[in-house]
Structure 1
Amino acid sequence: MAKIADEVRRAAVSRLGELRADGVLTAGHVRTVAQSTGVSERTVWRWLSPQAARPVRQPRPHYILSESDREAFAFYRGNIAAVHRARHAVVAGDGTTAGAPVPGFLAEGWARSRPVTLRTLQRAFAEELTPAERAAWQSGESGRRAASVYLQRPDALRGRCWEMDHKQIPLLVLPPKGKATSPWMTTVVDDGTRALLGWAVALTPTSGTVFTAMRMAMLHEPDRSPFGAVPERVRIDRGLEFAADAVEAALGTLAVVMHRLLAFQPHRKGKVERLNLTIGQMLISQLVGFTGGPRDASGKLYGPVKDSVAAKRAAEGQAGGPMRIERFVDRFAAWARWYNTERPHRMLGGRTPLQAWTDDPAPLRRIPADELRHLMLADVERTIRKDGISFNSLSYLAPELQGRGGQVVQIRYMPHDDRQIEVYLAGKHLCTAYPAGQLTPEQTDAFRAHAAAEAKRLGQERRRASHRARRTLAPMTGDGAPAQESRLVDQKTGRGASRQALDAALRARSSTSLLGITPLTTTDKKES
Structure 2
Amino acid sequence: MAKIAAEVRRTAVARLEELRADGVLTAGHVRTVAQSTGVSERTVWRWLSSPAARPVRQSRPRYLLSETDREAFAFYRGNIAALHRARQAVLAGDGTTAGAPVPPFLSEGWAGGRPVTLRTLQRAFGQELTPAEQAAWRTGESGRRAAAVYLKRPDALRGRCWEMDHKQLPLVVLPPKGKAICPWMTTVVDDGTRALLGWAVAITPTSGTVFTAMRMAMLHEPEASPFGAVPERVRIDQGLEFAADDVEAALGTLAVVMHRLPPFQPHRKGKVERLNLTIEQMLISQLPGFTGGPRDASGKLYGPVKDSVAAKQAAGEASGEAGGPMRIERFVDRFALWARWYNTERPHRMLGGRTPLQAWMEDPAPLRRIGSDRLRHLMLASTDRTIQKDGISFQSLTYVAPELYGRGGQRVQIRYMPHDDRQIEVYAGTEHLCTAYPTGQLTPEQTEAFREHARAEAKRLGAERRKAAKRARRELAPMTGDGATPAESRLVSAADGRARTQHDRDQALAAKASTSLLGLTDPTADPES
* Residue type at the aligned position of 1:199: W
Q: 2:353: which partner in 1?
A: 350
Q: 1:425: which partner in 2?
A: 428
Of 381, 384, 395, the residue aligned with 2:384 is 381
Aligned residue runs from structure 1 range 90-489, under 5 A: 90-240=90-240, 243-316=243-316, 317=318, 318-473=321-476, 482-483=485-486, 486=489
In structure 2, what is the Cα distance between the partners aligned to 1:251 and 1:339? 27
RMSD: 2.5
In structure 2, what is the Cα distance between the partners aligned to 1:129 and 1:240? 39
Corresponding pairs, count: 504
Specify every segment of 5 or more residues in structure 1 that has no aligned partner in the other structure, as ranges. 488-505
Q: 1:500: which partner in 2?
A: none
In structure 1, what is the Cα distance between the partners aligned to 2:519 and 2:358? 94
In structure 1, what is the Cα distance between the partners aligned to 2:196 and 2:52? 65
Offset of 1:327 from its aligned partner?
0.9
The 1:252–1:52 alpha-carbon spacing in structure 2 relative to 1, beyond 3 Å, is: farther
* Residue type at the aligned position of 1:388: G
Q: 1:47: which partner in 2?
A: 47
In structure 2, what is the Cα distance between the partners aligned to 1:180 and 1:460? 57
The 1:392–1:519 alpha-carbon spacing in structure 2 relative to 1, beyond 3 Å, is: same
Q: Please say if residues 200 and 213 of structure 2, whose CA atoms lie closer than 8 Å, have aligned partners that are also in contact.
A: yes
Aligned residue runs from structure 1 range 69-84, under 5 A: 69-84=69-84
Q: Please say if residues 201 and 332 of structure 2, whose CA atoms lie closer than 8 Å, have aligned partners that are also in contact.
A: yes
Specify every segment of 5 or more residues in structure 2 that has no aligned partner in the other structure, as ranges. 491-509
SS of residue in 1 equivalent to 2:114: coil
SS of residue in 1 equivalent to 2:173: coil
Which segment is superposed worse, 143-152 or 365-374?
A: 143-152
* Residue type at the aligned position of 1:100: A
The 1:346–1:103 alpha-carbon spacing in structure 2 relative to 1, beyond 3 Å, is: same
Which segment is superposed worse, 236-245 or 136-145?
A: 236-245
Q: Please say if residues 419 and 435 of structure 1, whose CA atoms lie closer than 8 Å, have aligned partners that are also in contact.
A: yes
Which segment is superposed worse, 315-324 or 326-335?
A: 315-324
Offset of 1:509 from its aligned partner?
6.3
Which segment is superposed worse, 171-180 or 22-31?
A: 22-31
SS of residue in 1 equivalent to 2:303: coil
**TM-score normalized with structure 1 length:** 0.90
The 1:92–1:406 alpha-carbon spacing in structure 2 relative to 1, beyond 3 Å, is: same
- What percent of counterpart residues are identical? 83
In structure 2, what is the Cα distance between the partners aligned to 1:516 and 1:240? 70
SS of residue in 1 equivalent to 2:243: helix
In structure 1, what is the Cα distance between the partners aligned to 2:407 and 2:518? 40
In structure 2, what is the Cα distance between the partners aligned to 1:16 and 1:193? 54
In structure 1, what is the Cα distance between the partners aligned to 2:516 and 2:47? 144
In structure 1, what is the Cα distance between the partners aligned to 2:198 and 2:53? 70
Which segment is superposed worse, 83-92 or 292-301?
A: 292-301
Deviations 1:480-519 (A, max 9, x none): x8436759xxxxxxxxxxxxxxxxxx9x966667568679
Q: 2:14: which partner in 1?
A: 14
* Residue type at the aligned position of 2:105: F
In structure 2, what is the Cα distance between the partners aligned to 1:517 and 1:421? 60
* Residue type at the aligned position of 2:291: T
Offset of 1:319 from its aligned partner?
1.1
Q: Please say if residues 46 and 52 of structure 1, whose CA atoms lie closer than 8 Å, have aligned partners that are also in contact.
A: no
* Residue type at the aligned position of 2:251: L
SS of residue in 1 equivalent to 2:20: helix
